[in-house]
Chain A
Amino acid sequence: MISLTSPVRTIAHGWPAGTKLLGLCVATALLFAIESLLVQGLVFTFVSLLYALPGKAFLVAGMRQLKLLLPFVLIVGLWHLWTNEYELGASIVLRILSAVGLANLVTMTTRLSDMVDVVAKITKPLRWLGLNSRVLELAIALVIRLTPVLVERGGQLTQAWKARSRHAPNWRIILPFTVLALDDADRVAEALRARGGFNNMEDI
């Protein structure tokens, strides 16, 4: 699987994930509140600097993830060239790049386990409402474990299809795929219940 995390270790890896997320929220809210082109330009320069600091490998990995913004940058750019609102166009483009760039920085420098810990921490108060936040943690683990299983199932179905048909697999393959997923859900549920179910989750 393609990794979204940084290829090199940075200082930001050591910072608490919760603080980084909170900082990101504040920074994004400010970015969308500020209209000035000068400020947007300064912020963009600062974000670019953050990408450049950890070295070339980090910069390349970061740029690759920002590539999906290219169509939007082109559309907005051309639009404002056409309407002659150069300043507005530039500030919108810079803001999108900075906002997505900053958010990607947090993703790149935070380990998955740290993120799951933050999720666990902020969902803990839900226990007062009678919701067991351990169930959510288990569900996260289940999805991470089951996605490759389903992908493999899909591959097997594709092979079975190709062995029987001259045509390429089409949307019809999704039916047996979903049936298999539903049967898997039955077995996973049985396995969970056999291990004591969710009543014993607090003791684990």
Chain B
Amino acid sequence: MEKNVALIALFAALIAALGLIPKITLAFGVPITAQSLGVMLCGTILGSKRGALAVLLFLLLVAIGLPLLSGGRGGLGLFVSPTAGFLVGWPIAAFVTGLIVEKWRSAPLAVVGSIASIIGGILVMYVFGVIGMSITLEKPLLEATGLVTAFIPGDVLKAFIAGMLTAALAKARPASVLSRSEPADAV
């Protein structure tokens, strides 16, 4: 129990710390931040439930007014802004990513981690994000999707990084990759 709480709190802090890493600008001028990489890592390392809880804890801190989102953003305003859908999608993205890594054990972890991050951290997250934008901006879903497509290449890059990092972590600290540990020592 103590271990789970410590891990969840530490990964929430990790997402916050990754938000402070300066933005990398891709070749075609789109900035990417490491924060959504943190969400993917929560899923691939902590697994579905703990990963989603870590992201929820992070969002709770943002909501109560800590400037932890990249660029020093925070507060309740973000949850009604056009990008609110992405925040709603974050915990679900971590959950789906974690679930795929937990269930799919037949392929190498780097491959599974990358694909899980693409499905959870990109597909699921963008579905929520696009719906949120379409509601707040009163635009059809297709147009709302058009507004965010520029960010997808950066996110695909992050998904591959998440997969590689997870595989490397499984070598460095095998016991810590909870998404792959046996059900007996889970929770």
Q: Residues on A close to B: CB < 8 A?
A: 1-5, 21, 24, 28, 32, 65-66, 68-69, 72, 75-76, 79, 88, 92, 96, 99-101, 103-104, 106-108, 110, 112, 115-116, 119, 135-136, 138-140, 142-144, 146-147, 149-151, 153-154, 171, 174-175, 177-179, 181-186, 188-190, 192-193, 197-198
User: Lowest 6 A-B CB distances belong to which pairs?
Assistant: A107-B75, A142-B9, A115-B64, A103-B76, A104-B77, A150-B17
Looking at chain B, what size class is its interface with the partner chain? Answer: 35 or more
**A residues in contact with B80, CB < 8 Å:** 28, 99-100, 103
A-B contacts, CB under 8 A, total? 177
Measured CB to CB, the closest approach of chain B to A29, in angstroms, equals 10
Interface residues of B in 85-106 (CB under 8 A from A): none
**A residues in contact with B72, CB < 8 Å:** 1-2
**B residues in contact with A112, CB < 8 Å:** 64-66
Contact with A along B1-31 (1 / 0, CB 8 A): 1110111111111101110110000000000
**A residues in contact with B161, CB < 8 Å:** 171, 174
Are A182 and B173 touching (Cβ within 8 A)? yes
Are B77 and A100 touching (Cβ within 8 A)? yes
B124 within 8 A of A: no
Measured CB to CB, the closest approach of chain A to B152, in angstroms, equals 17
Partner of B65, one of A99, A115, A142: A115
**A residues in contact with B57, CB < 8 Å:** 136, 139-140, 143
A69 to B84, CA, bound (A): 12
B116 within 8 A of A: no
Contact with A along B29-70 (1 / 0, CB 8 A): 000001001000100010000000000011011001111100
Q: Residues on B close to A: CB < 8 A?
A: 1-3, 5-14, 16-18, 20-21, 34, 37, 41, 45, 57-58, 60-61, 64-68, 71-82, 135-139, 147, 161, 165, 168-169, 172-173, 176
A139 to B165, CA, bound (A): 25
A183 and chain B: residue at smallest CB distance: B173
Partner of B10, one of A99, A104, A146: A146
A151 to B78, CA, bound (A): 23
Are B76 and A146 touching (Cβ within 8 A)? no
Known: A100-B77, A174-B34. A140 touches B61 (CB 8 A): yes
Are A72 and B17 touching (Cβ within 8 A)? no
Measured CB to CB, the closest approach of chain B to A195, in angstroms, equals 9
**B residues in contact with A5, CB < 8 Å:** 65
Measured CB to CB, the closest approach of chain B to A197, in angstroms, equals 5
Partner of A4, one of B18, B67, B82: B67
Are A189 and B67 touching (Cβ within 8 A)? no
13 contacts between A and B (CB under 8 A): A1-B67, A4-B66, A92-B138, A107-B75, A142-B10, A142-B13, A143-B9, A147-B17, A154-B17, A174-B37, A175-B169, A182-B7, A183-B173
**B residues in contact with A79, CB < 8 Å:** 139
**B residues in contact with A65, CB < 8 Å:** 73, 75, 77
Are A178 and B76 touching (Cβ within 8 A)? no
A200 to B138, CA, bound (A): 51
**B residues in contact with A135, CB < 8 Å:** 5
What 5 additional pairs, Cβ within 8 angstroms, besides A75-B147, A182-B7? Answer: A69-B81, A112-B64, A139-B57, A143-B9, A146-B10
A24 to B76, CA, bound (A): 10
Are A185 and B18 touching (Cβ within 8 A)? no
Partner of A107, one of B10, B60, B65, B147: B65
Query: Which of B8, B64, B137, B147 has the largest count of A CB atoms less than 10 A from its CB?
Result: B64
